[in-house]
Amino acid sequence: MEDRALVKSGAGVTAVASVTGCHGVLDVFLLALDIDASTVPRPPIPRVEAVEPFLPARVGADPATDHGVRPAVLLAYRHIVDRAHPDVSFGVSTGALRSGSTTARPYVGAPATCVSLWEIPGHGLVLALEALTDKSPLVGRRIDPLQDRDGQGFRPTVDGFLAPFGLTSSASLEDLFPGINRMMPAPTTYRPLHEIVVHRHRGVGDREVVEALMVEVVSSGGERVRDLVDGSTTGPTARAAARTWGVVWGWDRVRLVDVPAQPGAAIAVREDSGAVLLDLEATAVDSDYTTRGTGEMIFGLLSWVAMRASCSRDFWQVLAHLRNHEDLDGDRLRAALDDVAAMQARKMERVLLRKESIRDDRFPSWTQPTQLRSVLVRRVADEIADLDGELAEAAEVIEHAVRRSVELRGQHHSRLARAWSAAASVIAVVALFAALAAVPAESEPTLFPHWLYAFSVTLALTVVAITVAVLWRRR
């Protein structure tokens, strides 16, 4: 049985008394949105310390740099506190508190929920849903927040996060953040959330999977990690999951540091890297969520979710062009070329930034903000590389269709040009004949006494002009 925190009432680290463990659970659901991310220029929102321990409090934690992944930009947020329930403590591993070897202290405060909207430059929007409670966990085998099957999974999960605000997954961005349409003047801001999510390029069977990431942060999760990683995949629970979700996801034990707060501790990462159980026991003994590294690890996942979703967006765009390649003409032709160019740019950015994850190895005794993101990037690197290869081949097909369309249009224009040239030649000959026939002489009404003479001169001049043109082209 896990120890629970013994805390006094109040908020913040100053309210901590004798603490032997933290019982608060932070659930974070990062959801990629398929919406135009162009924003009206506005000053950046500074760090919002009042919403600790949620993501808006992480703004500006790292200095701005152009040498790595561009940091997420906060566009809007909402925060609500549940004063009707007892305070919870959160953010420090139980092992560190028991040993007394760290000066870190837990965050202590009332249960709360935060919803925030982020733009990742060049890759789109991410909606972050966060809840700090002591309720039953969301990460496990019984539920899959990334699937939406018969009213289970995705929508109930989103409904749970939005319930404190009186909203559901049918709410729009405008409902969540009134006035957001002035920043992003797009009709999609009024569509329900479940309609503007990005779907992964590969689902489960014939069911789509949402591009999102569920992370659950606990202070002492060793037993749950063992259940997820070592649990049976053929027992009653696994069979029930297979019937409900069409798949039994495997889980892997992943070490973050060589010397964790609890010896042997690790985190659990789902097979598809769509869910993570982050046990703070697996971080360094001196780390905590609010001030030393761990919270920044979650902040770094915003850009990861957006970059992974951009791969799937590219997939669906390219697939739509392939399915209608016969109609690539006019505006659709220009749109296809723009999409391919943007896709190639995002692909190269992913390739160039992959070096960050390759070189970001485990650290022996401290926690780095990029560690968790690097773990996820490395786990799906082969999958993303395969998808980028497929997209490159698809882009070649589209470009071939574009070239063929241009060639056909060129042939059509050439036929029209030849037809107009022939018509112009006939008109020129007739005009020359008429002009010669109508030229007056000094003693005659016209220069030629009979039209046949004018016709002969016109024909001779036309033959000479054609001969000169042919000889000139052969030079």
Q: Give the global pTM.
A: 0.79
Tokens 């409904």, residue located = 159
pLDDT digits (tens, 9 = 90+) for 192-231: 998 999 988 887 777 888 999 999 999 888 889 998 888 7
| 428: enclosing H helix or E strand | helix 381-438
| The pLDDT of residue 12 | 42
SS (H, E, C) 441-463: CCCCCCCCCCHHHHHHHHHHHHH
Q: Which of 250, 269, 157, 248 is nearest to 205 (CA)?
A: 248
pLDDT digits (tens, 9 = 90+) for 128-186: 999 999 877 788 888 888 888 877 889 999 999 999 999 999 999 999 999 888 888 77
Exposure of 136 in the CB half-sphere (CA atoms within 13 A): 5
Low-confidence ranges of the chain (pLDDT < 50): 1-19
| The pLDDT of residue 14 | 38
| The pLDDT of residue 8 | 32
| The pLDDT of residue 170 | 93
pLDDT digits (tens, 9 = 90+) for 160-175: 999 999 999 999 999 9
| The pLDDT of residue 151 | 74
**Coil, helix or strand at residue 125:** strand
| The pLDDT of residue 437 | 54
**Coil, helix or strand at residue 414:** helix
| The pLDDT of residue 240 | 76
| The pLDDT of residue 401 | 65
Hey, which bits of 44-85 come out as E strands?
73-81
Q: Name the token pair of 72.
A: 């997420």
